[in-house]
Structure 1
Amino acid sequence: MLKTEYSPLLETFRFANGVELKNRLVMAPMTNFSSHEDGAVSREELDYYIRRSGGAGMVITACVYVNRGGKGFPGEFGADHDGLLPSLRELADAIKGQGAKAVLQIFHGGRQCPPEQLTDGQPVSASAVPSELPGGGTGPVPRPLTDEEITGIIADFGEATRRAIEAGFDGVEIHGANGYLVQQFFSPHSNRRDDRWGGDLEKRLAFPLAVLRSVKEAVKQHAREAFIVGYRFSPEEPETPGITMKETFALIDALTAEGVDYLHASLRELWSLPHRGTEDSRTRIEQIVDRAAGKAPVIGVGSLYTAADALKSLDTGISLVALGRPLLIDPDWVQKVAEGRAHEIKTELDTKAQAELVIPDPLWRALIHTPGWLPLKQ
């Protein structure tokens, strides 16, 4: 390995369960809207992942729905039945064939699912509380899940984990962030239940912890070698009431007590400051790392476009650095660092380079036409 100032990013990393990554750089999970209607991964998606899996030590896929009622986006791929095992296997092989560990992000969209793609047209959630939208509007009013449906979805997470194992993935990441169903049960905004699945903080933790236990049981039963189980979370919500840093600390304590291989803090800006629930003025990520210290490694993410940004992020105490938008812009980001060419890393999306970047049409249209998603080079 070429020794440079950025060499700390390229050091190997070993999880407590023994799985080793070739470096400390991770491809963050990013929805790409490009799967087939039946939930199978498309050729364009496979090429997109192959293009980006040669450098990172670990690739976390776009979120995959654990049952059809949890499909959160058009063009999302699935892990809700065994008929999709060949598709999942193709994706795992594509990523691992480039030298990265492959982690499948498993999820249910809950009230965020578009009604037009649901069988009965009404999304579900912990309670009949719509999401608050930018500009003051609200989303559709979801139907509260029954106790039987909740236990079924928990089992679905376990079954999706079994399929990930059978397909050859190296791990799964439970998507408990970005306002989707797992977070909806933890949030005091979206969970107004008065049964065993809601109420005080302890009861709002019941669903996320049950999902984690279901996943871990599937690993225990089906994995023949070390298998990674991670958990992604959003540390705060803007709503009142909403998740605050105080509640996130309780979530971290609960998850690490159950046992997770890593925690993944979902942040748009890594160095963002907390709003509520802590008197500590340090960044959210530093406080998260402190809370998890000695119990689970933390993955940090958020606008780390340059090698200098990524290197500086290690000062927060994170163990692994996730790159999402930077790898959309420059799929050779990691290789350039490894080869001493960090100064050549591109930090703006070249709007004339779709073919070179191997980005599927649906994702390309979203990137080009969504203001503020990526810095664009015209």
Structure 2
Amino acid sequence: MTTAFDPIDLSGTTLANRIAMAPMTRSRAGQDGVATDLTVAYYAQRASAGLIITEGIQPSVVGQGYPDTPGLHSAEQVASWRKVTDAVHAAGGKIFAQIMHAGRIGHPVLLPDGLVNVAPSAVTAKGQVYTAEGPKDFVTPHELTDAEIRATIADFATAARHAIDAGFDGVELHGANGYLIHQFLAPGTNRRTDEWGGSVENRLRFAVEVAKAVTAEIGAARTGFRVSPANPFNDIAEPDPEPTYTALVKELAALDLAYLHVLEVGEIRELVTRLRQDFGGTFILNPQTEGPTGQDALALIEDGTADLIAFGALFLANPDLPARLKAGGPYNTPDPTTFYGGTEKGYTDYPAL
């Protein structure tokens, strides 16, 4: 029987176990979106994961959605991430960079003067984003032109190249949680009538073209993709997700990507099972609930539901999570008040066993 503690070959990259660290925004980047010495310590502490997937990293200036999030679009940012990857590799770990364009989520005060958030359509998200000036309502985004869409696809590919230059083992394309790729997939946020919207085929075109551009740049073996079907986060509405995601996953499967990563939100296990079958390759599941100890989630590897299980808050609070899972605990309790922003408190000060 395969267990979470067995190694796995990820398209030529050997992972020590099947426990992944899920991507989690921490809003602790330095000035100009660089990784800091605290970032280095944070990820190196968690190098016993079979695979670390970083927090979302913006591929361009306009891709930023939150305060103090890191980028991969400048030489300074690339150099800062090299320190992170070197430290993780020295500790025996593997690390993929999650490339995340926030799209309409964010606010112009987080962007350089003159820039406004962008999206497939000029549809304002309900809700607010935290800024240095306090919470602010989301604004109506600029609707991307065809030329701007193609330039954005190129930004993803360039960021992927920068990730490899920075020493990452690969990248994960963030097509979940209501950010730009997800905004193209969802009919409520994509109201276009050109080749980038309307039908299922057109709505998934942006996601597929991003994946094609990135695989052409760095290779399919170093490219993963994350989705979250029917996830309402960031004011997304997907009342009938199955046709979109089955079609998307078949397109992604044809590219022979390193993995598909599904964030399970709501009662969608039947669709999750279908997507695993349709993808055919390595399948990472971030399950609906990881529980206070994560033990139930490990059974999803044993029964074949997934090849790897991604843990979020539990990994945030337990830097040596694989060892704790193997021992059956004990576990540190995550402190939600320190999830976003701040210092080493709630970031690098959680104790190991």
Match of 1:298 in 2: 283
Distance 1:35 1:52 in 2: 18
Distance 2:171 2:334 in 1: 29
Cα deviation, 1:298-352, whole Å, max 9, x if unaligned, reads: 11113324242232222352000111111122222212334xx213234x23699
Match of 1:342 in 2: 328
Alignment of 1:281-296 (within 5 A): 282-292=269-279, 295-296=280-281
SS for the counterpart of 1:112 is coil
Match of 2:350 in 1: none
Contact 1:188–1:243 at 8 Å: present in 2 too?
A: no
Match of 2:79 in 1: 86
Match of 2:162 in 1: 163
Contact 2:226–2:260 at 8 Å: present in 1 too?
A: yes
Match of 1:39 in 2: 33
SS for the counterpart of 2:32 is coil
Match of 2:312 in 1: 324
Task: Name structure 1 gaps, 5 residues minimum.
Answer: 221-225, 275-281, 367-378
Distance 2:272 2:293 in 1: 19
CA offset at residue 258 of structure 1?
A: 2.5
1:318–1:73 CA distance, 2 compared to 1 (3 A): same
Read off the aligned partner of 2:275 and give its amino acid letter: I
SS for the counterpart of 1:361 is coil
Match of 1:179 in 2: 178
Contact 1:59–1:95 at 8 Å: present in 2 too?
A: no
Contact 1:64–1:77 at 8 Å: present in 2 too?
A: yes
1:241–1:317 CA distance, 2 compared to 1 (3 A): closer
Identity %: 33
SS for the counterpart of 1:178 is coil
**2:69 pairs with 1:76:** yes
Match of 1:223 in 2: none
**2:111 pairs with 1:118:** yes
Read off the aligned partner of 1:296 and give its amino acid letter: G
Distance 2:45 2:50 in 1: 14
SS for the counterpart of 2:31 is coil
State the TM-score, normalizing by the size of structure 2.
Answer: 0.86
Task: Name structure 2 gaps, 5 residues minimum.
Answer: 129-135, 348-353
CA offset at residue 150 of structure 1?
A: 1.0
Contact 2:20–2:52 at 8 Å: present in 1 too?
A: yes
State the TM-score, normalizing by the size of structure 1.
Answer: 0.81
Read off the aligned partner of 1:342 and give its amino acid letter: G
1:129–1:364 CA distance, 2 compared to 1 (3 A): farther
Read off the aligned partner of 1:31 and give its amino acid letter: T
Distance 1:362 1:145 in 2: 36
- With 187-196 and 298-307 compared, the bigger mean Cα shift is at 298-307
Distance 1:359 1:95 in 2: 22
Match of 2:121 in 1: 127
**2:256 pairs with 1:259:** yes
Distance 2:330 2:37 in 1: 29
Read off the aligned partner of 1:66 and give its amino acid letter: P
Distance 1:28 1:73 in 2: 18
Distance 1:232 1:267 in 2: 11
CA offset at residue 216 of structure 1?
A: 0.7
**2:200 pairs with 1:201:** yes
1:163–1:241 CA distance, 2 compared to 1 (3 A): closer
Indicate which of 308, 311, 323 corresponds to 2:298. 311
Match of 2:351 in 1: none
Read off the aligned partner of 1:262 and give its amino acid letter: Y
Contact 1:56–1:334 at 8 Å: present in 2 too?
A: yes
SS for the counterpart of 2:34 is coil
Distance 1:192 1:242 in 2: 15
Contact 2:335–2:346 at 8 Å: present in 1 too?
A: no
